[in-house]
Amino acid sequence: MSEPFLVVGAGPAGLSAAHSLATAGQKVILVEKEDTLGGAPILSGYAKLVPSGEWARDAIGSMVARVVDNPSIEVIKNTVVQRFEGKPGAFNVTLRDGKTFTTPAAVLCSGFTHFDSVNKPEWGFGRFPDVVTTTQVEQMMSTGAGIRRPSNGEPPKRVAILLCVGSRDRQIGREWCSKICCTVSANMAMEIREELPDCHVYIYYMDIRTYGLLETKYYWRSQEEFKVKYIKARIAEVTSDGDKIIVKGEDTLVKRPITIPFDMVIHAIGMDPNVDNLTLSNVFGVNLEPNGFIDRQNTYGLVGASSREGILVAGAATGPETIDDSISQGAAAAISALGFVRSLENA
Ligand SMILES: Cc1cc2nc3c(=O)[nH]c(=O)nc-3n(C[C@H](O)[C@H](O)[C@H](O)COP(=O)(O)OP(=O)(O)OC[C@H]3O[C@@H](n4cnc5c(N)ncnc54)[C@H](O)[C@@H]3O)c2cc1C
Ligand code: SF4
Protein backbone atom coordinates (compact mmCIF):
# COMPACT_ATOMS: atom_id res chain seq x y z
CA MET A 1 0.00 0.00 0.00
CA SER A 2 1.64 3.22 -1.05
CA GLU A 3 -1.18 5.68 -0.37
CA PRO A 4 -1.27 7.08 3.15
CA PHE A 5 -3.96 6.09 5.64
CA LEU A 6 -6.00 9.00 6.99
CA VAL A 7 -6.29 9.50 10.75
CA VAL A 8 -8.57 12.30 11.97
CA GLY A 9 -7.82 13.82 15.38
CA ALA A 10 -4.52 13.83 17.29
CA GLY A 11 -5.71 12.96 20.79
CA PRO A 12 -4.66 9.76 22.59
CA ALA A 13 -6.70 7.59 20.17
CA GLY A 14 -5.46 9.27 16.98
CA LEU A 15 -1.83 9.37 18.12
CA SER A 16 -2.06 5.67 18.89
CA ALA A 17 -3.71 4.83 15.54
CA ALA A 18 -1.13 6.83 13.57
CA HIS A 19 1.77 5.28 15.47
CA SER A 20 0.39 1.75 15.01
CA LEU A 21 -0.06 2.18 11.26
CA ALA A 22 3.45 3.62 10.90
CA THR A 23 4.87 0.76 12.99
CA ALA A 24 3.20 -1.65 10.56
CA GLY A 25 5.12 0.07 7.74
CA GLN A 26 2.32 2.30 6.43
CA LYS A 27 2.29 5.98 5.57
CA VAL A 28 -0.17 8.13 7.50
CA ILE A 29 -1.68 11.58 7.16
CA LEU A 30 -2.87 12.79 10.57
CA VAL A 31 -5.32 15.70 10.35
CA GLU A 32 -5.90 17.80 13.50
CA LYS A 33 -8.17 20.81 13.63
CA GLU A 34 -6.26 22.57 16.44
CA ASP A 35 -2.76 24.03 16.42
CA THR A 36 -1.61 21.70 19.22
CA LEU A 37 -1.46 17.89 19.25
CA GLY A 38 -2.45 15.68 22.20
CA GLY A 39 -6.23 16.04 22.39
CA ALA A 40 -8.16 16.91 25.54
CA PRO A 41 -5.39 16.05 28.05
CA ILE A 42 -3.10 18.63 26.44
CA LEU A 43 -5.61 21.13 25.05
CA SER A 44 -7.42 21.35 28.39
CA GLY A 45 -4.24 21.25 30.50
CA TYR A 46 -4.92 18.11 32.57
CA ALA A 47 -2.56 17.58 35.52
CA LYS A 48 -1.71 14.04 36.71
CA LEU A 49 -3.64 11.33 34.90
CA VAL A 50 -5.52 8.43 36.41
CA PRO A 51 -4.63 5.69 36.86
CA SER A 52 -0.94 6.12 35.93
CA GLY A 53 -0.25 9.17 38.13
CA GLU A 54 1.91 10.57 35.31
CA TRP A 55 1.69 14.23 34.31
CA ALA A 56 -0.43 14.55 31.15
CA ARG A 57 2.23 16.69 29.50
CA ASP A 58 4.81 13.89 29.95
CA ALA A 59 2.61 10.89 29.18
CA ILE A 60 0.73 12.33 26.20
CA GLY A 61 3.72 14.52 25.29
CA SER A 62 5.78 11.39 24.62
CA MET A 63 3.01 10.03 22.38
CA VAL A 64 3.03 13.33 20.47
CA ALA A 65 6.83 13.27 20.12
CA ARG A 66 6.99 9.75 18.65
CA VAL A 67 4.36 10.72 16.05
CA VAL A 68 5.94 14.05 15.14
CA ASP A 69 9.38 12.41 14.86
CA ASN A 70 8.13 9.56 12.68
CA PRO A 71 8.99 10.18 9.00
CA SER A 72 6.09 7.94 7.90
CA ILE A 73 3.54 10.26 9.50
CA GLU A 74 2.62 13.61 7.97
CA VAL A 75 0.84 15.81 10.51
CA ILE A 76 -1.44 18.52 9.14
CA LYS A 77 -2.74 20.92 11.81
CA ASN A 78 -5.34 23.69 11.84
CA THR A 79 -7.56 22.01 9.29
CA VAL A 80 -10.44 19.58 8.88
CA VAL A 81 -11.61 17.19 6.17
CA GLN A 82 -14.12 18.98 3.96
CA ARG A 83 -14.91 16.27 1.41
CA PHE A 84 -14.48 12.52 1.55
CA GLU A 85 -15.59 10.74 -1.62
CA GLY A 86 -14.89 7.55 -3.53
CA LYS A 87 -14.86 3.98 -2.33
CA PRO A 88 -13.03 1.76 0.15
CA GLY A 89 -9.44 1.33 -1.00
CA ALA A 90 -9.50 4.63 -2.91
CA PHE A 91 -11.18 7.52 -1.12
CA ASN A 92 -10.53 11.08 -2.32
CA VAL A 93 -9.93 13.51 0.53
CA THR A 94 -10.18 17.30 0.34
CA LEU A 95 -9.02 19.36 3.29
CA ARG A 96 -10.43 22.79 4.18
CA ASP A 97 -7.20 24.43 3.09
CA GLY A 98 -7.52 22.90 -0.40
CA LYS A 99 -5.02 20.03 -0.12
CA THR A 100 -6.22 16.81 -1.77
CA PHE A 101 -4.97 13.24 -1.54
CA THR A 102 -6.15 9.64 -1.89
CA THR A 103 -6.43 7.23 1.02
CA PRO A 104 -7.36 3.54 1.21
CA ALA A 105 -9.13 3.91 4.59
CA ALA A 106 -9.71 6.36 7.43
CA VAL A 107 -9.68 6.12 11.23
CA LEU A 108 -11.87 8.72 12.96
CA CYS A 109 -10.46 9.68 16.37
CA SER A 110 -12.20 13.02 16.70
CA GLY A 111 -12.95 12.70 20.42
CA PHE A 112 -15.50 14.49 22.59
CA THR A 113 -16.45 17.97 23.81
CA HIS A 114 -16.40 18.81 27.53
CA PHE A 115 -19.86 19.42 29.00
CA ASP A 116 -20.40 23.15 29.42
CA SER A 117 -21.57 23.70 33.00
CA VAL A 118 -23.62 26.77 32.05
CA ASN A 119 -26.14 24.19 30.84
CA LYS A 120 -26.74 23.32 34.51
CA PRO A 121 -27.42 26.87 35.79
CA GLU A 122 -29.07 25.81 39.06
CA TRP A 123 -25.69 24.45 40.17
CA GLY A 124 -24.11 27.89 40.15
CA PHE A 125 -21.48 27.78 37.40
CA GLY A 126 -21.15 31.09 35.58
CA ARG A 127 -22.99 32.86 38.43
CA PHE A 128 -20.48 32.49 41.25
CA PRO A 129 -16.72 32.66 40.58
CA ASP A 130 -15.94 30.01 43.21
CA VAL A 131 -17.97 27.42 41.32
CA VAL A 132 -15.47 25.87 38.91
CA THR A 133 -15.06 22.70 36.82
CA THR A 134 -12.68 19.76 37.10
CA THR A 135 -10.84 21.03 34.01
CA GLN A 136 -10.26 24.40 35.71
CA VAL A 137 -8.85 22.66 38.78
CA GLU A 138 -6.68 20.43 36.54
CA GLN A 139 -5.27 23.67 35.07
CA MET A 140 -4.65 25.17 38.53
CA MET A 141 -2.60 22.05 39.32
CA SER A 142 -0.79 21.64 35.99
CA THR A 143 0.29 25.29 35.79
CA GLY A 144 1.55 25.25 39.39
CA ALA A 145 -0.89 28.02 40.36
CA GLY A 146 -2.23 25.82 43.17
CA ILE A 147 -5.79 25.38 44.39
CA ARG A 148 -7.13 28.88 45.04
CA ARG A 149 -10.59 30.46 45.28
CA PRO A 150 -11.00 32.48 42.07
CA SER A 151 -12.88 35.19 44.01
CA ASN A 152 -10.01 36.16 46.34
CA GLY A 153 -6.96 34.00 45.53
CA GLU A 154 -7.07 32.34 48.97
CA PRO A 155 -6.64 28.60 49.48
CA PRO A 156 -10.08 27.11 50.23
CA LYS A 157 -10.78 25.52 53.64
CA ARG A 158 -13.81 23.55 52.54
CA VAL A 159 -14.39 22.17 49.03
CA ALA A 160 -17.27 20.22 47.50
CA ILE A 161 -16.94 18.14 44.35
CA LEU A 162 -20.30 17.49 42.67
CA LEU A 163 -20.32 14.33 40.53
CA CYS A 164 -22.30 13.63 37.37
CA VAL A 165 -22.48 17.23 36.12
CA GLY A 166 -23.69 16.84 32.54
CA SER A 167 -23.92 13.05 32.83
CA ARG A 168 -26.72 10.71 33.95
CA ASP A 169 -29.10 13.66 33.78
CA ARG A 170 -32.24 13.08 31.73
CA GLN A 171 -33.49 16.62 32.40
CA ILE A 172 -30.75 17.99 30.17
CA GLY A 173 -30.73 15.12 27.68
CA ARG A 174 -27.58 13.38 28.86
CA GLU A 175 -28.30 9.88 30.06
CA TRP A 176 -24.84 8.40 29.70
CA CYS A 177 -22.26 7.89 32.42
CA SER A 178 -18.98 9.58 31.52
CA LYS A 179 -17.05 6.65 33.04
CA ILE A 180 -13.95 8.40 34.35
CA CYS A 181 -15.18 11.39 36.40
CA CYS A 182 -15.70 9.44 39.66
CA THR A 183 -12.07 8.32 39.54
CA VAL A 184 -10.78 11.72 38.39
CA SER A 185 -12.73 13.35 41.26
CA ALA A 186 -11.52 10.94 43.96
CA ASN A 187 -7.97 11.53 42.73
CA MET A 188 -8.49 15.30 42.69
CA ALA A 189 -9.89 15.18 46.25
CA MET A 190 -6.72 13.39 47.42
CA GLU A 191 -4.51 15.89 45.58
CA ILE A 192 -6.34 18.80 47.23
CA ARG A 193 -5.89 17.18 50.65
CA GLU A 194 -2.22 16.65 49.89
CA GLU A 195 -1.68 20.29 48.85
CA LEU A 196 -3.96 21.76 51.53
CA PRO A 197 -4.02 19.37 54.53
CA ASP A 198 -6.39 21.70 56.47
CA CYS A 199 -8.95 21.72 53.68
CA HIS A 200 -12.00 19.48 54.12
CA VAL A 201 -13.14 17.83 50.88
CA TYR A 202 -16.63 16.45 50.32
CA ILE A 203 -17.78 14.45 47.29
CA TYR A 204 -21.52 14.60 46.49
CA TYR A 205 -22.58 11.51 44.53
CA MET A 206 -25.52 9.52 43.20
CA ASP A 207 -23.47 6.32 42.81
CA ILE A 208 -19.74 5.81 42.82
CA ARG A 209 -18.37 4.23 39.65
CA THR A 210 -14.67 3.78 40.38
CA TYR A 211 -15.01 0.47 38.60
CA GLY A 212 -12.66 -2.53 38.60
CA LEU A 213 -9.31 -2.08 40.30
CA LEU A 214 -9.90 1.68 40.66
CA GLU A 215 -12.16 1.02 43.66
CA THR A 216 -9.23 0.28 46.00
CA LYS A 217 -6.82 2.85 44.61
CA TYR A 218 -9.24 5.78 44.57
CA TYR A 219 -12.56 5.21 46.38
CA TRP A 220 -11.30 3.47 49.52
CA ARG A 221 -7.90 5.16 49.65
CA SER A 222 -9.45 8.63 49.39
CA GLN A 223 -11.58 7.90 52.47
CA GLU A 224 -9.20 5.82 54.58
CA GLU A 225 -5.91 7.59 53.91
CA PHE A 226 -7.03 11.10 52.92
CA LYS A 227 -10.24 11.45 54.96
CA VAL A 228 -12.31 12.61 52.00
CA LYS A 229 -16.01 12.58 52.94
CA TYR A 230 -18.64 11.14 50.62
CA ILE A 231 -22.27 12.32 50.75
CA LYS A 232 -24.92 10.42 48.79
CA ALA A 233 -27.24 13.24 47.88
CA ARG A 234 -29.71 14.74 45.49
CA ILE A 235 -28.66 18.36 44.98
CA ALA A 236 -31.45 20.92 44.75
CA GLU A 237 -29.47 24.10 44.14
CA VAL A 238 -26.17 25.89 44.60
CA THR A 239 -26.41 29.48 45.85
CA SER A 240 -24.14 32.02 47.56
CA ASP A 241 -24.32 34.31 50.59
CA GLY A 242 -21.83 36.65 48.97
CA ASP A 243 -18.82 34.81 50.39
CA LYS A 244 -19.54 31.10 50.79
CA ILE A 245 -21.09 28.82 48.18
CA ILE A 246 -24.09 27.05 49.68
CA VAL A 247 -24.96 23.55 48.49
CA LYS A 248 -28.56 22.59 49.29
CA GLY A 249 -29.97 19.13 48.82
CA GLU A 250 -31.16 15.95 50.41
CA ASP A 251 -28.93 13.33 51.98
CA THR A 252 -30.53 10.32 50.32
CA LEU A 253 -29.12 7.80 52.83
CA VAL A 254 -30.69 9.40 55.93
CA LYS A 255 -33.44 11.13 53.91
CA ARG A 256 -32.86 14.55 55.47
CA PRO A 257 -32.29 17.98 53.92
CA ILE A 258 -28.67 19.17 54.11
CA THR A 259 -27.27 22.66 53.57
CA ILE A 260 -23.49 23.08 53.75
CA PRO A 261 -21.40 26.22 53.02
CA PHE A 262 -18.19 25.80 51.01
CA ASP A 263 -15.33 28.04 49.86
CA MET A 264 -15.20 26.37 46.49
CA VAL A 265 -17.46 23.98 44.54
CA ILE A 266 -16.11 21.84 41.70
CA HIS A 267 -18.32 20.43 38.93
CA ALA A 268 -17.10 17.01 37.78
CA ILE A 269 -18.07 17.64 34.17
CA GLY A 270 -18.89 14.88 31.74
CA MET A 271 -18.09 14.06 28.15
CA ASP A 272 -20.48 15.33 25.46
CA PRO A 273 -20.43 14.19 21.83
CA ASN A 274 -17.96 16.25 19.79
CA VAL A 275 -19.76 19.40 18.59
CA ASP A 276 -18.43 18.54 15.10
CA ASN A 277 -20.18 15.16 14.97
CA LEU A 278 -23.05 16.20 12.67
CA THR A 279 -20.56 17.63 10.20
CA LEU A 280 -18.31 14.58 10.53
CA SER A 281 -21.33 12.35 9.96
CA ASN A 282 -22.22 14.24 6.78
CA VAL A 283 -18.70 14.51 5.41
CA PHE A 284 -17.72 10.88 6.09
CA GLY A 285 -21.18 9.35 5.63
CA VAL A 286 -21.10 7.58 8.99
CA ASN A 287 -24.07 7.14 11.34
CA LEU A 288 -24.31 8.65 14.80
CA GLU A 289 -25.82 6.65 17.68
CA PRO A 290 -28.89 8.14 19.40
CA ASN A 291 -26.90 10.33 21.82
CA GLY A 292 -24.84 11.87 19.03
CA PHE A 293 -21.57 9.92 19.32
CA ILE A 294 -20.20 8.18 16.21
CA ASP A 295 -21.81 4.77 15.95
CA ARG A 296 -19.53 1.79 16.31
CA GLN A 297 -20.53 -1.67 15.09
CA ASN A 298 -20.29 -4.76 17.26
CA THR A 299 -16.70 -5.72 17.90
CA TYR A 300 -17.07 -9.42 17.05
CA GLY A 301 -16.20 -8.71 13.41
CA LEU A 302 -13.94 -5.82 12.51
CA VAL A 303 -12.92 -3.98 15.69
CA GLY A 304 -13.72 -0.27 15.41
CA ALA A 305 -15.90 -0.57 12.30
CA SER A 306 -18.23 2.38 11.73
CA SER A 307 -21.43 2.19 9.68
CA ARG A 308 -19.42 2.80 6.48
CA GLU A 309 -16.94 0.35 4.98
CA GLY A 310 -13.39 1.61 5.05
CA ILE A 311 -13.99 4.03 7.92
CA LEU A 312 -12.98 2.94 11.41
CA VAL A 313 -13.65 4.84 14.62
CA ALA A 314 -11.90 4.85 18.00
CA GLY A 315 -11.74 6.57 21.38
CA ALA A 316 -14.13 9.12 22.85
CA ALA A 317 -15.59 9.82 19.40
CA THR A 318 -17.65 6.67 20.05
CA GLY A 319 -18.82 7.60 23.58
CA PRO A 320 -17.16 8.34 26.91
CA GLU A 321 -13.84 6.48 27.10
CA THR A 322 -10.75 6.55 29.27
CA ILE A 323 -7.36 7.43 27.89
CA ASP A 324 -6.10 3.86 28.23
CA ASP A 325 -9.11 2.50 26.35
CA SER A 326 -8.86 5.24 23.71
CA ILE A 327 -5.24 4.30 23.10
CA SER A 328 -6.10 0.59 22.81
CA GLN A 329 -9.01 1.33 20.49
CA GLY A 330 -6.82 3.54 18.30
CA ALA A 331 -4.31 0.71 17.89
CA ALA A 332 -7.06 -1.85 17.28
CA ALA A 333 -8.78 0.34 14.68
CA ALA A 334 -5.45 0.85 12.91
CA ILE A 335 -4.94 -2.92 12.61
CA SER A 336 -8.55 -3.29 11.44
CA ALA A 337 -8.01 -0.63 8.77
CA LEU A 338 -4.86 -2.35 7.60
CA GLY A 339 -6.47 -5.79 7.53
CA PHE A 340 -9.50 -4.46 5.70
CA VAL A 341 -7.41 -2.83 2.98
CA ARG A 342 -5.24 -5.97 2.60
CA SER A 343 -8.41 -8.03 2.14
CA LEU A 344 -9.53 -5.66 -0.65
CA GLU A 345 -6.16 -6.00 -2.36
CA ASN A 346 -6.24 -9.79 -2.14
CA ALA A 347 -9.85 -10.07 -3.33
C1 LIG B 1 -11.99 16.67 33.40
C2 LIG B 1 -11.57 15.40 32.74
C3 LIG B 1 -10.42 14.75 33.20
C4 LIG B 1 -10.03 13.56 32.61
N5 LIG B 1 -8.93 12.91 33.11
C6 LIG B 1 -8.65 11.66 32.65
C7 LIG B 1 -7.63 10.87 33.26
O8 LIG B 1 -6.94 11.31 34.19
N9 LIG B 1 -7.42 9.59 32.78
C10 LIG B 1 -8.19 9.07 31.76
O11 LIG B 1 -8.00 7.91 31.40
N12 LIG B 1 -9.12 9.83 31.13
C13 LIG B 1 -9.37 11.09 31.56
N14 LIG B 1 -10.36 11.82 30.96
C15 LIG B 1 -10.94 11.32 29.70
C16 LIG B 1 -9.99 11.70 28.52
O17 LIG B 1 -10.06 13.09 28.31
C18 LIG B 1 -10.39 10.93 27.26
O19 LIG B 1 -10.35 9.53 27.54
C20 LIG B 1 -9.44 11.17 26.09
O21 LIG B 1 -9.19 12.53 25.89
C22 LIG B 1 -10.02 10.56 24.81
O23 LIG B 1 -9.05 10.62 23.80
P24 LIG B 1 -9.49 10.76 22.26
O25 LIG B 1 -8.24 10.78 21.47
O26 LIG B 1 -10.50 9.76 21.93
O27 LIG B 1 -10.25 12.18 22.18
P28 LIG B 1 -9.73 13.68 22.45
O29 LIG B 1 -8.77 13.72 23.56
O30 LIG B 1 -10.99 14.48 22.53
O31 LIG B 1 -8.95 14.07 21.11
C32 LIG B 1 -9.65 14.31 19.90
C33 LIG B 1 -8.79 15.14 18.98
O34 LIG B 1 -9.46 15.31 17.73
C35 LIG B 1 -9.45 16.68 17.35
N36 LIG B 1 -10.64 16.93 16.53
C37 LIG B 1 -11.90 17.06 16.94
N38 LIG B 1 -12.74 17.26 15.89
C39 LIG B 1 -11.95 17.25 14.79
C40 LIG B 1 -12.21 17.41 13.40
N41 LIG B 1 -13.45 17.62 12.94
N42 LIG B 1 -11.17 17.34 12.53
C43 LIG B 1 -9.89 17.16 13.00
N44 LIG B 1 -9.59 17.02 14.31
C45 LIG B 1 -10.62 17.04 15.20
C46 LIG B 1 -9.44 17.43 18.67
O47 LIG B 1 -8.97 18.75 18.50
C48 LIG B 1 -8.53 16.55 19.52
O49 LIG B 1 -7.18 16.89 19.34
C50 LIG B 1 -10.77 13.01 31.52
C51 LIG B 1 -11.91 13.68 31.04
C52 LIG B 1 -12.32 14.85 31.66
C53 LIG B 1 -13.57 15.50 31.15
S1 SF4 C 1 -18.17 8.23 36.26
FE2 SF4 C 1 -19.15 8.80 38.19
S3 SF4 C 1 -19.31 11.07 38.08
FE4 SF4 C 1 -18.93 10.35 36.01
S5 SF4 C 1 -20.99 10.17 35.15
FE6 SF4 C 1 -20.40 8.11 35.89
S7 SF4 C 1 -21.24 8.02 37.98
FE8 SF4 C 1 -21.25 10.19 37.36
Residues 6+ apart with CB under 8 A from 274: 110, 111, 112, 113, 280, 317
Domain shared by 266 and 121, yes or no: yes
Question: What is the tens place of the pLDDT at every residue in 269-292?
Answer: 999 999 999 999 999 999 999 999
- Higher-confidence residue of 301 and 61: namely 61
Q: What is the CATH number of the domain that holds 54?
A: 3.50.50.60
pTM above 0.95, yes or no: yes
Separation of CA 198 and ligand 2 centre (Å): 27
23 pLDDT more than 80: yes
- What is the rounded CA–CA span in Å between residue 309 and residue 46? 35
pLDDT at residue number 65: 98
Return mean pLDDT, the chain: 97
Say yes or no: 216 and 162 in one domain. Answer: yes
Query: Is 33's pLDDT higher than 70?
Result: yes
Q: What is the pLDDT of residue 1?
A: 63
Q: How many CA atoms lie within 13 A of 80 on its CB side?
A: 11
Which ligand is nearest to the Cα of residue 320, counting in written order? Answer: 1
CA of 257 from ligand 1 middle (Å) equals: 37
Whether residues 127 and 101 fall in one domain: no
| Residue 125: DSSP 8-state | T
Counting ligands in written order, the one closest to the CA of 138 is 1
Q: What is the pLDDT of residues 194-218, one digit of tens each?
A: 999 999 999 999 999 999 999 999 9
Say if residue 100 is in the same domain as residue 74.
yes
Structural domain count of the chain = 2
Q: Is the CB of 326 under 6 A from ligand 1?
A: yes
> Which residues, 6+ apart, have CB-to-CB distance to 47 below 8 Å?
55, 56, 138, 139, 141, 142, 191
Confidence of residue 2 (pLDDT cuts 50, 70, 90): confident
pLDDT at 347 over 90: no
**pLDDT tens digits, 168-186:** 999 999 999 999 999 999 9
Q: Whose CA is nearest to atom 49 of ligand 1?
A: 39
User: Given pLDDT bands bounded at 50, 70 and 90, which one contains residue 3?
Assistant: very high
pLDDT at 299: 86
* 231 has a pLDDT exceeding 90: yes
CB 167 near ligand 1, within 6 Å: no
Of the listed ligands, the closest to the CA of 304 is 1
**Pocket test residue of 169, 209, 222 for ligand 2, highest count of atoms within 8 A of CB:** 209
- The answer for residues whose C-beta is within 8 angstroms of residue 328's C-beta and 6 or more apart is 16
Judge if 204 and 280 occupy the same domain: no
SS3 for 86?
strand
Residues 121, 263, single domain; the answer is yes
Ligand in closest contact with the CA of 64: 1
* Top mutation candidate among 323, 324, 327, 328 for ligand 1, by most atoms within 8 Å of CB: 323
pLDDT of residue 228: 98
Residue ranges making up the domain that contains 56:
5-111+274-346
Residue nearest atom 32 of ligand 1, based on CA coordinates = 111
Does residue 230 surpass a pLDDT of 80?
yes
Residue where one domain finishes, among candidates 230, 246, 270: 270
For ligand 1, say whether the CB of 324 is within 6 Å of any of its atoms.
yes
Same-domain check for residues 103 and 122: no
- Ligand 2 pocket (Cβ < 6 Å) reads 163-164, 167-168, 177-179, 181-182, 207, 209, 268, 270
Q: Whose CA is nearest to atom 8 of ligand 2?
A: 164
**Whether 171 and 295 share a structural domain:** no
In a shared domain, residues 261 and 139: yes
